[in-house]
Structure 1
Amino acid sequence: MPTPRSTPFTFGYAAVLAATSYLADHAHPAFVHALHQASSTDVAHLARHPVLVLIASALWIVGGIASPYAAGFLLVLTALERRTGTAWAAGVFLLGHVVATLVTEVPVGVAVLAGVLPVGSLHRLDYGISFGVAASVGSLAGLLSPWLRRPMLIAFGSVLTQDLILLADPVTDAGHLIALAIGIATWPLVRQRQRQRQRDRLRVPGPVVSRP
């Protein structure tokens, strides 16, 4: 079973998310909205404080602990961290979070400059862990057997595609599919990392037992 010692990134990050979710549920709504707005990775914030908002936006779960992404975070990140190690699991999550955010928000800024979108689009509310979770799902799928990998990708990809078709939030929904593709692109690296960890475990000598 996973433990804080074996999966420190997942457990530590989950503790932070639990704290921010508790704050979002119990603090004054106006205060929470102000925090979310300040953490938003919209074009205006990315242009002024890119590193700060990329970090701050990943401290919140849209929908709180009850969100499916909260359960997905725990299950997927735990499995990925056990197979690849703490640094690699954190790297995949951050890669999906950062790259998918930039790929979706930069075109918004360009469209505003071109007059295609209104200026208000520069301040759209955008925060949460969903891009990182989607990338982690894509990456983990590459470490599973085909009979688990295919249903997992088909089910998750279908949900993301359906959300995009509904056009409720096309920028974010497109970002989820991009993040999933980013995770899939890491397969050669995470597979190599998993094989290396397996070889390292085999080389670790067991305890020496002396016999009389």
Structure 2
Amino acid sequence: MTVVNFADDSAPGARTASGGAPSRQQSRQLPRRPFRLRRLARLLPTPAGTPFTFGYGVILLSTALYTDFGDQATVGRLLRESSTDAAHLVEQPLFVLVASALWIAGGIYSFYGVAFLLVVTALERRVGGARAAGVFLLGHVLATLATELPVAGAVAVGRLPEASMHRLDYGISFGLMACVGALSGLLRPRCKWALLGMAGAMCAQDLMELVDPLASWGHPIALLTGLACVPLVRDAAGRKSAAVGRGAAAGRGAVLSADCAVPTPLLPPWLPRQYAPAGAPQEGAAGSMTFRGAGEEPLDGGRAEPVGRAPVEAEAPRHVMGVDDGLHHAHGGEAGPVGVAPRVPGAVPRPRTADGAGEQRRRDADALQAG
């Protein structure tokens, strides 16, 4: 039996005697393995995050395994039929341009397979699957045509023999170089020049060795094609990062509104308010709340009040000397605003006797209205 000392809190990550979390100093000593693992996981393709790279990578892995472990006679025949040499480009250009990009030169142990996963995944996470696929396909097609069509022209004029029309040309290196050029325009200056330096060194080595002249010239052509696509992918990357930023800001705003319990209006300010009869339960009061359609008439002929507002009390009438006492009598003049003292041209005479007070006030009111 092993004796365990529960009072020993010296180990990193140990909990306190009261069962609480470790201190701040102890938490700093804990390794941040989950965070580092997530950073490393973003370098690899996933079905949801990078569907183009993931699906294309599965196809390339299948053909690479078949190249290494399948029947070599069948593999050789398939590679010859998928070759983008000048003869096949003249006979069936679309088929060979697609079929040649389904194989990796060197099989499963090729450097191009690992580079494809890292480079195209990084590009797709920044610009999306459609644009990443477009850059790859554009570099593959343009570099292939730029190297094979001059061969066909040289054979047609007699500068090269007929055998130059038939050669073995397949792989993803042209499309990969185009993605390297496009990705370099989205990285920070230090990473950008490091990536371009490695790609440029590889192209220079191929041109110096010149083992396969067409492939050696096709790689720098594909790299320049990717660099020409930088303005397009940079604009797409900017829009995507802005959309992600707006989504994150909206999420933080929603959480803040939920935490602070900020009420939202029932209707926008430009829509008509809902009305309920005076004396009905108001919003926020105890009991049920009455909801009525916009524009409906108040119930029971009562005075309507906006829902959610306290009822407005009637203002006490103001008495104006010489005017309010005679308003119950009809007259032909235009009534002035209630509660506002009229503009009297002169002093209002006081009533002389009690018997003639009412008659005097009526004459004064008629004179004021007529004036």
Same fold (TM over 0.5): yes
Deviations 1:93-117 (A, max 9, x none): 0000011001110001001111111
Partner of residue 155, structure 2: 112
In the alignment, is residue 206 of structure 1 matched against residue 256 of structure 2?
no
Query: CA separation in 2, counterparts of 1:146 and 1:161?
Result: 22
Partner of residue 186, structure 1: 229
In the alignment, is residue 5 of structure 1 matched against residue 48 of structure 2?
yes
Secondary structure at the counterpart of residue 46 of structure 2: coil
Divergent runs of 4+, >3 A:
none
Flag the structure with higher helix content: 1
8 Å Cα contact 2:68-2:108 kept in structure 1: no
The CA deviation at 1:3 is 2.0
What letter corresponds to residue 51 of structure 2 in structure 1?
P
- Sequence identity percentage: 53
Q: Give the alignment of 1:21-170 within 5 angstroms.
A: 21-170=64-213
Query: CA separation in 1, counterparts of 2:70 and 2:52?
Result: 27
Partner of residue 239, structure 2: 196
8 Å Cα contact 2:139-2:222 kept in structure 1: yes
Farther off after superposition, 125-134 or 202-211:
202-211
Query: CA separation in 1, counterparts of 2:115 and 2:70?
Result: 25
Farther off after superposition, 57-66 or 25-34:
25-34
What letter corresponds to residue 179 of structure 2 in structure 1?
S
8 Å Cα contact 2:175-2:222 kept in structure 1: yes
Secondary structure at the counterpart of residue 115 of structure 1: coil
Secondary structure at the counterpart of residue 251 of structure 2: coil
Query: CA separation in 2, counterparts of 1:157 and 1:71?
Result: 18
Deviations 1:40-77 (A, max 9, x none): 00111111111110000000000012111111100000
Query: CA separation in 2, counterparts of 1:52 and 1:3?
Result: 28
Query: CA separation in 2, counterparts of 1:168 and 1:37?
Result: 20
Secondary structure at the counterpart of residue 204 of structure 2: helix
Query: CA separation in 1, counterparts of 2:90 and 2:155?
Result: 14
8 Å Cα contact 2:173-2:219 kept in structure 1: yes
What letter corresponds to residue 98 of structure 2 in structure 1?
I
Q: Which runs of 5+ in 2 are unaligned?
A: 1-41, 262-371
Deviations 1:71-93 (A, max 9, x none): 11000000000000000000000
- What is the count of residue pairs matched by the alignment? 212
Query: CA separation in 1, counterparts of 2:147 and 2:176?
Result: 16
Of 197, 205, 214 in structure 2, the residue corresponding to residue 171 of structure 1 is: 214
What letter corresponds to residue 122 of structure 2 in structure 1?
A
What letter corresponds to residue 226 of structure 2 in structure 1?
G
What letter corresponds to residue 84 of structure 1 in structure 2?
V
What letter corresponds to residue 251 of structure 2 in structure 1?
G
TM-score, normalized by length of structure 1?
0.97
What letter corresponds to residue 190 of structure 1 in structure 2?
V
What letter corresponds to residue 62 of structure 2 in structure 1?
A
Farther off after superposition, 174-183 or 201-210:
201-210
Query: CA separation in 2, counterparts of 1:23 and 1:159?
Result: 28
Indicate the RMSD between aligned Cα atoms, in angstroms: 1.1
Farther off after superposition, 54-63 or 28-37:
28-37
The CA deviation at 1:151 is 1.7
Secondary structure at the counterpart of residue 206 of structure 1: helix
What letter corresponds to residue 61 of structure 1 in structure 2?
I
What letter corresponds to residue 120 of structure 1 in structure 2?
A
Farther off after superposition, 72-81 or 152-161:
152-161
The CA deviation at 1:30 is 1.4
